[in-house]
Structure 1
């Protein structure tokens, strides 16, 4: 096992780390000295130096951050709710419901993405259904506007065309605060809906297995004490699900920061780079622009970001034991 992991995991990671320090076009052998060694220049271009590379990378981080902030909580809550529903012992057709809820998770992501393209076209089924209730739906995959900026602009709080003040005068990684706080685009919201629909079923099964592992005696004792359903969920079910909840959140966090398939099939970063993600930018830099060094650097920055956020999540969800008071 150590040999297999070393050969197919550790060694490729070390090779990619070396490539991230080179200016390599993919045509020569990067380990023969033919590629130019540039050190940390690829990382500086993404994080420090003003230019298009840093702007695109910051844009991809902003888009992916909103994707994570919306997708992970929604899919977790939805998966837990579905698991609680299908775990009811008196519910009829439980097996059929489990299959129906889980079915999107086993469907090809490419096929589902293609279906969503047809559904959310300007004249697609979603806009047709909205028209029945008098709502004119947007041109989903061609609308680059951020939903938060649209909301603030509709309320008259911000001039979205010419933002002023702190939002326009301050910036981070080459993007103004207004661009950071504009929210996910309408196109990105569509991809978020797709992600929630396709992943909730998998996490539902994980929660369902954990719910069935909770001792019935614990629930019966709580019922005897007169707790209601909300109290049962808060004081009995959720504490028992803490390790599984951490697992689901960790898996969701990692997968959402690595989103690629849906972006590649549905938008490739369009419109206006509002669906661009670090994973797709890494692929585009390497295979479209023939800059494999920068593509590898993006991948390692993304890896560091995922490790930091996973560690922070583990710290926040750790078991907290009460401290013993010192006896006087």
Structure 2
């Protein structure tokens, strides 16, 4: 009995000591993470214009109006929000697969035992990832300017560069125009959802957005390459050698042996890619400000513009929380898609 009470007392002391040790971290997280989120959530339920404190009785409480206006009110605010969702959706659909495939390909190259100068290539591939995104965006902005290098190359092959990059149409619309479809079919132009016609939803990314996509894929692939490379170097080489003994070629060994073992790293890379692409802001802010014709407008930049330029902090905060829910839903979806399946 005495031993039991002594053990119970020791465990009780350990529990108290544990809470004491984690208390500073919990306090810091509460003050600088949880509390600001709760404050922003309250702001999203008000009509605060940025003057004074949002927690006074003078600030009107509007409830869920800022949220319902984004989906149910037929006005310019909803159209801008849905336009930003469309633009960001095409951005995600292109950036996440491209940066994942490129990162995995670079990691496979660097993991090759016969490659010479691995340190140089590893540094060269990773260097864009550690460079300031704002600085690289400014460089790209000069390259795509009217007198920049990209437009000079396009002019050399007979393409009007400035006009090409300022085209407000998406790539799908441009391609259809090249084959003679100049106007939207009635079935797509007369019907739609959430403030945009089906023709607008199916426009594809603009040329300006594709330039930003190119920049982001180039600057983010290095980070994910390091993750894949670390995972590849921790894989047991005996499995690959067993595949060679069984007569499997290089593609079969990669598809059947290497790739399944990279599932946890793949989940991490895709999750980080989804979060980063839905939150894209700095490249948009520096390079385009949502132009031309709102074809590079994204929810993160729209939230900033609504709050800090239009002084509608309630709607700006509401856009941020809707964006948060979108990220959570897509993260759960890709987690379900990449889950470990029994029998495989």
Calculate the TM-score normalised by the size of structure 2: 0.90
CA distance in 2, matches of 1:80, 1:305: 26
Structure 1 residue corresponding to 2:296, chosen from 261, 266, 275: 275
CA distance in 2, matches of 1:282, 1:89: 48
Offset from partner CA, 1:152-204 (integer Å, 9 cap, x none) = 12122x32xx3132210111111111111010011101100010010000000
CA distance in 1, matches of 2:85, 2:206: 14
Contact 2:150/2:161, CA 8 A, preserved across alignment: no
How far apart are residue 138 of structure 1 and its match?
3.0
How far apart are residue 322 of structure 1 and its match?
2.9
CA distance in 1, matches of 2:83, 2:302: 10
1:316–1:18: structure 2 CA closer, same or farther, 3 Å change rule?
Answer: same
CA distance in 2, matches of 1:78, 1:255: 16
Structure with higher Rg: it is 2
Contact 1:28/1:34, CA 8 A, preserved across alignment: no
Q: Counterpart in 2 of 1:326? A: none
Q: Counterpart in 2 of 1:221? A: 242
CA distance in 2, matches of 1:28, 1:70: 42
Q: Counterpart in 2 of 1:264? A: 285
Calculate the TM-score normalised by the size of structure 1: 0.95
Q: Give matches, 1:38-187, under 5 Å.
A: 38-132=62-156, 134-136=157-159, 138-139=161-162, 141-156=165-180, 158-159=181-182, 162-187=183-208
Contact 1:141/1:267, CA 8 A, preserved across alignment: no
1:103–1:135: structure 2 CA closer, same or farther, 3 Å change rule?
Answer: farther
Structure 2 residue corresponding to 1:253, chosen from 266, 274, 284: 274
Aligned residues: 319
User: Where in structure 2 are there 5+ consecutive unaligned residues?
Assistant: 1-24
How far apart are residue 135 of structure 1 and its match?
4.6
Select the structure that is richer in helix.
2
User: Where in structure 1 are there 5+ consecutive unaligned residues?
Assistant: 324-328
Contact 1:57/1:278, CA 8 A, preserved across alignment: yes
